[in-house]
Chain A
């Protein structure tokens, strides 16, 4: 039986549809439907007589609530910039392979697998008021009073860094080591120095991957919950937007308001993604200008 494969022809027969159906139905029922349902009930406030947007109005009229956006942003943005810059620096330096690469990447996978709850518990002990770091610095005479690194935004930033750095680093390492090494050697042969190679050849090629990594890390950091509660100050300086949503849902039992906050959180992430995509579009032009035909 000769089968002609073409991209335009649909190859969906009954068997294929039956194969796809269970997972597709699952995603539709458990992901798409709840999303739409969440938007719907966010427009059905608990108080009957209130208008459909009253949850959103309430959120933006209450400084305790709308400040969570700023708080979250101020945690997520510096963390993301730090994670991406450090990961870029390291991954670029290791693009031609390093000693113990497998061991190092294995160790880096550890914080991803252990999860943020375990990490936060360890951070509380290690960096806490009486933790090993403070004891070491005090004993060395470098500081007079213990540093307050936990139960504030520094602790949360640190915890987020620990969680997101390995993820971003491994992603970028895979991306950068996939770039054709002959481009770099051609540039070197033509007399370019290390900085010029990075600036003119490699960076434009890395930029698209870098932007995706930035977007992923930012979105993940923006939803920070467990570390903001455990190593942060959930009632004060690290009251992030997901804490606000959680409190409405499981402490006030106002699912409508909680869904509204979740929608606002989603919109903030979406807005960030849109900005990032727009930046990327401008960068793509730079890419083609930088390297010409690939």
Chain B
């Protein structure tokens, strides 16, 4: 009996949390389609004008292009330099390895706002602050370690014997990489790439600190418009939020085909699947 009450309480809480989440998301969606909405449970009339308004006024085609460019550049670079590092960290033993792992872990552990301000100062000092390159460089700071830590367990799953056999059969390093590691690592690369992509699109703090006029990502532009509330109709801001949500959801839906939801958070126990 007590056990059943306990289970009930858990489900009720989860139901409440999910309903409240749905309420929050639905409110934004409904508001983006509202002609005018004040003090009523639902708007009296609906329209899609706010989407065209937002698209035009907030220059969303440009913002979306910038966002995708930044996100793809970050994914590409993070994988390109994270992949070899993850390989070495998974395969080789050396004295400095724990220190190295800690160093790679710190950008994920320390809040972005804490190191973002000195990072922004440095990048503005080099003259790349406010540019697309500055945003890419800043966002890469947590994304390179993220890629490394996602790829690492995938490497550990590949048996070392495969590499040894290939070596014994006369394969060069390049051949081992192209014929053995790359095909076996495809799921890992896909997982890491998608998670880096989602995290880059929804990364706020670093993109915000480094963004200038022409280098705002979608979420930064959204923030500025919410913050400057009153100048723009709230419905148009919600329309922009819906466009942002659809972008994230599209990537997320693809990602969730390959990724377990629990992979999206830190692992506490270091267990390997």
Contact = CB atoms under 8 A, between A and B. Distances in A.
A53 interface: no
A84 to B, nearest CB: 13
A10 B223 contact: no
6 contacts: A11-B94, A20-B85, A23-B144, A98-B10, A109-B264, A118-B219
Given A16-B88, A171-B265, A219-B109, A132 B144 contact: no
Contacts of B3: 194
A258 B121 contact: yes
Interface in A1-51: 1, 3, 5-7, 9-12, 15-16, 18-20, 22-24, 26-27, 30-35, 37-39, 41
Contacts, number: 263
Interface of B: 2-3, 6-7, 9-10, 13-14, 17-18, 20-21, 23-25, 27-28, 31, 38-39, 41, 80-82, 84-85, 87-89, 91-95, 100, 103-104, 106-107, 109-115, 117-124, 137-138, 140-141, 144-145, 148, 164, 167-168, 173, 198, 202-205, 208-209, 219, 222-223, 226-227, 237-238, 241, 244-245, 248, 252, 256, 260-262, 264-269, 271
B111 A220 contact: yes
A235 to B, nearest CB: 13
B223 A7 contact: no
Contacts of A22: 80-81, 84-85
Contacts of B10: 89-90, 93-94, 98
A265 interface: yes
Contact of B198 (A113, A259, A266): A113
A75 interface: no
B94 A34 contact: no
Contact of A266 (B24, B110, B227, B244): B110
Given A1-B168, A22-B81, A37-B121, 6 more contacts: A31-B107, A121-B28, A122-B24, A162-B21, A178-B269, A223-B205
A105 B261 contact: yes
Interface stretch (A61-69, A123-131, A275-283, A286-294): A123-131
Contacts of A131: 27
A249 B140 contact: no
Contacts of A39: 118
Contacts of A250: 209
B225 to A, nearest CB: 10
B111 A219 contact: yes
Contacts of B85: 19-20, 22-24
A23, A38, A89, A250, most chain B CB atoms within 10 A: A23
B9, B118, B173, B267, most chain A CB atoms within 10 A: B118
Nearest to B38: A130
Nearest to A173: B262
A245 B117 contact: yes
A147 interface: no
- What size tier do the contact residues of chain A reach? 35 or more
Interface of A: 1, 3, 5-7, 9-12, 15-16, 18-20, 22-24, 26-27, 30-35, 37-39, 41, 86, 89-90, 93-94, 98, 102, 104-126, 130-133, 135, 162, 165-167, 170-175, 178, 194, 209, 212-213, 216, 219-220, 222-223, 225-226, 229-230, 242, 245-246, 249-250, 255, 258-259, 261-262, 265-266, 269
Contact of B24 (A105, A107, A119, A261): A119
B261 A109 contact: yes
A265 B110 CA distance: 11
Contact of B140 (A11, A30, A90, A226): A30
